[in-house]
Amino acid sequence: MENKEARCRASIGVFDSGVGGLTVAREIMRNLPGEHIVYFGDTARVPYGSKSKDTIVRYARQIIHFLQTQDVKAIVIACNTASALALDTVEKELDIPIIGVIRPGARVAVSATKNRRIGVIGTESTINSHMYQKLICEADPSVTVYEKACPLFCPLVEEGWLKDPVTKEVARRYLAELLDKDIDSLILGCTHYPLLRSLIRELVGDQITLVNPAYETARELGELLERESLSNPDEPPTPPTAEPYRFYVSDMAEKFGHFANSILPYDIETIQKINIEEY
Ligand code: DGL
Q: Please determine, for residue 91, whether its predicted confidence score (pLDDT) is greater than 80.
A: yes
Among the atoms of ligand 1, which is closest to the Cα of residue 48?
A: 9
What rounded mean pLDDT belongs to the chain? 95
Q: Is the CB of 212 under 6 A from ligand 1?
A: no
Q: Is the CB of 16 under 6 A from ligand 1?
A: yes
Distance from Cα 199 to the centre of ligand 1, integer Å = 19
pLDDT in tens, 195-241: 999 999 999 999 999 999 999 999 999 999 999 999 999 888 887 78
Q: Please determine, for residue 1, whether its predicted confidence score (pLDDT) is greater than 70.
A: no
**Separation in Å, CA 130 to CA 54, 102, 104, 147, 230:** 17, 11, 15, 8, 32
Where are the strands (E) in the chain, listed by range?
12-16, 37-41, 74-77, 98-99, 117-122, 144-149, 185-189, 209-211, 245-249, 271-273
Question: Quick one: pLDDT at residue 160?
Answer: 87
Residue 65: how many other CB atoms lie within 10 Å: 12
> 22 falls in which pLDDT band (50, 70, 90)?
very high
How large is the average pLDDT for residues 29-47? 96
Q: Please determine, for residue 153, whether its predicted confidence score (pLDDT) is greater than 70.
A: yes
Which parts of 92-152 fold into alpha helices (H)? 102-112, 124-129, 131-139
Residue 3: how many other CB atoms lie within 10 Å: 7
**Separation in Å, CA 226 to CA 2, 25, 235, 237, 263:** 18, 18, 16, 20, 28
Question: Quick one: pLDDT at residue 236?
Answer: 85
> 132 falls in which pLDDT band (50, 70, 90)?
very high
Q: How far is 57 from 88, CA to CA, in rounded Å?
A: 10
How large is the average pLDDT for residues 243-251? 94
Q: Please determine, for residue 55, whether its predicted confidence score (pLDDT) is greater than 60.
A: yes
Question: Quick one: pLDDT at residue 45?
Answer: 96
Q: How far is 249 from 223, CA to CA, in rounded Å?
A: 28
Among the atoms of ligand 1, which is closest to the Cα of residue 190?
A: 4
With 0-12 / 13-18 / 19 or more C-beta atoms within 10 angstroms meaning exposed / middle / buried, residue 136 is: buried
**Separation in Å, CA 86 to CA 98, 120, 126, 141, 249:** 11, 19, 11, 24, 20
Q: Is the CB of 192 under 6 A from ligand 1?
A: yes
Q: How far is 7 from 9, CA to CA, in rounded Å?
A: 5
Among the atoms of ligand 1, which is closest to the Cα of residue 50?
A: 8
> 2 falls in which pLDDT band (50, 70, 90)?
low
| Coil, strand or helix at 220 | helix
**Separation in Å, CA 118 to CA 73, 102, 147, 193, 216:** 34, 14, 9, 17, 17
Q: Is the CB of 194 under 6 A from ligand 1?
A: no
> 32 falls in which pLDDT band (50, 70, 90)?
very high
